[in-house]
Amino acid sequence: MPSPMRDSIPTLAPPFTMTELHAPPSPRTHRLRKLQSAHNLGAAARSQNQPSLISQQRIRDLQEVNISPTRRHVSNRSPPQRHRANSDTPSPINVATSSTMSLNRQRNALSRTSAAADSMSLERLIRDGPPDGDVKGALESTRLKVLDSGIKSDGDGMSSVRIYAWLILLDAPVLETDAYLALIHRGASPAYSKIRNDTFRTLTTDPLFRRRVSEASLIRLLNAIAWKLHDAKEERRPTSSRHSLSNERPSSSSTVSSSPAARNRARALTLTTEGSDANASESGTYVQGMNVLVAPFLYAARSEAEAFVAFHRLLTKECPGYIRGAMDGVHRGLALVDKVLAIVDPKLHLHLMSKSLSAEIYAFPSVLTLCACTPPLPEVLRLWDFLFAYGPHLNILCIVAQLIIMRNDLLSSDSPNKLLRSFPALQAEQIKKSALAIIKMIPDDVYAEIVTHAY
């Protein structure tokens, strides 16, 4: 997954200064070009047979873990130390940038960027594509722009370019709308009944989401994803098993009726039953919580097809372990939340453990949904900008950052489980800065576990 090089990730501006976000230009006056402009950064990289931005960063990150035990270029400051005299006083993570570190120095600390791309706005870079054909440099510039100033959006989190930035950073392929419609027209997937049991309660307390995204959209997209993942499983199944299944199904359906419409209805009913019972434990089709994970994609996208291809890419390329088998990737992530918290704030970790509050108890939704379960939705979108630019695996550090923000209340509470039932409202900028500081404080082997935990 996309991953910041530990020795080269730049530090942000002084903490708690929110980035000013301005409303994007009206789509009527500044429309993105069609398919070519929507994807030409990612598509250009694929046409040159280069690894995606995400893959490049993941490979480099693991290489950096092996060759460099320090974070020379993160900041001139050493990791914050707690003074003995103040051992009982909460000591927030210091994420201030050295006043002598200029933006140019931060840029030089990163991999090579494109000077031409650096001079362009993010909106223009997405619209026009990489200048001079420098795909790698343009992608690095894109990541840095997302980190420096974020993606411009209005108060509701709406942006005309966000979904295209996500598609590029996820290296999602262009998908024809007809291909998405074909999946919809196949009817109920094996997971259909499970999907219907979840969609009606997706972000029910968020008026922005309910106003923009219908339950029907959620059902269609999740059902299409379930079909896509089901097909991939069938392709991996041994040929002999596929033949035996195909020989069994016609006999059951042919006894119902010879009418094509009746056969389709019977098939849909059979698949629905299979999705809720017999196949409930099968991996890779649908797990509870995917309805929340897909919600920001549908909110940010301009079409269901765009949300579909981005969501499918995230599931299959970035966190397949989250939906495979017993969701082993999620459980590894939860164990890492505990491990990182023990390193960053031993006192808070011991306090929670003394109350039998491991991350398995309170952080499961936050790990599985990349914090999309915590409102407000516009802040979720801003946090996702960072995660898609530098790696969804950094969500583990973002969860720890939220615990650090709650530190005073958790330590002073005899029942911290009540506080952890629902995390405080997301503050994307503060969480991001704390997460970047935490990167400097964890050992290389733990960081390597974080990078690979979702596979």
Q: Is the pLDDT of residue 266 over 90?
A: no
Q: Given pLDDT bands bounded at 50, 70 and 90, which one contains residue 241?
A: low
**Residue given tokens 């082997």 in the structure block:** 445
Digit-coded pLDDT (tens) for 129-179: 888 888 888 889 899 999 988 999 999 999 999 999 999 999 999 888 999
Decide if pLDDT at 16 tops 80.
no
Rounded to whole angstroms, the Cα distance separating 115 from 112 reads 9
Average pLDDT, the chain: 76
At residue 64, the pLDDT reads: 52
Alpha helices in 345-427 (DSSP H): 346-354, 359-362, 364-368, 377-390, 395-405, 407-412, 416-420
Q: For residues 116 and 132, is the Cβ–Cβ distance under 8 A? A: yes
What pLDDT does residue 128 have?
87
Span 397-434, pLDDT tens digits:
999 999 999 999 999 998 999 999 999 999 999 999 99
What are the tokens at 268? 């849909």
Res. 453: pLDDT tops 80: yes
| 375 touches 206 (CB < 8 A) | yes
Sorting pLDDT into bands at 50, 70 and 90, what band is 237?
confident
Q: What is the pLDDT of residue 57?
A: 55
Highest-confidence range of 5-9, 61-65, 110-114, 163-167, by mean pLDDT? Answer: 163-167
* pLDDT higher at 47 or 448: 448
Q: Are 113 and 107 in contact (CB under 8 A)?
A: yes
Q: How confident is the model at residue 120 (pLDDT cuts 50, 70, 90)?
A: confident
Q: In this structure, which amino acid lies at residue 163?
A: I
pLDDT over 70 at 21, yes or no = no
- Among positive and negative, which fits the CA dihedral 324, 330, 336, 338? negative
**Tens digits of residue pLDDT in 49-83:** 444 445 555 555 555 544 333 233 333 333 333 33
Whether 362 has a pLDDT exceeding 50, the answer reads yes
Which range has the worst mean pLDDT, 197-211, 246-260, 372-386?
246-260
CB 121 within 8 A of CB 364: no
d(Cα 141, Cα 77) in Å, to the nearest integer?
25
Mean pLDDT of 183-202: 95
Whether 22 shows a pLDDT value over 90: the answer reads no
Query: Is residue 159 classed as helix, strand or coil in its secondary structure?
Result: coil
User: CB of 341 within 8 A of CB of 360?
Assistant: no
What is the pTM (predicted TM-score) of this model?
0.74
* Residue 117 and residue 131 in contact, taking contact as beta carbons nearer than 8 Å: yes
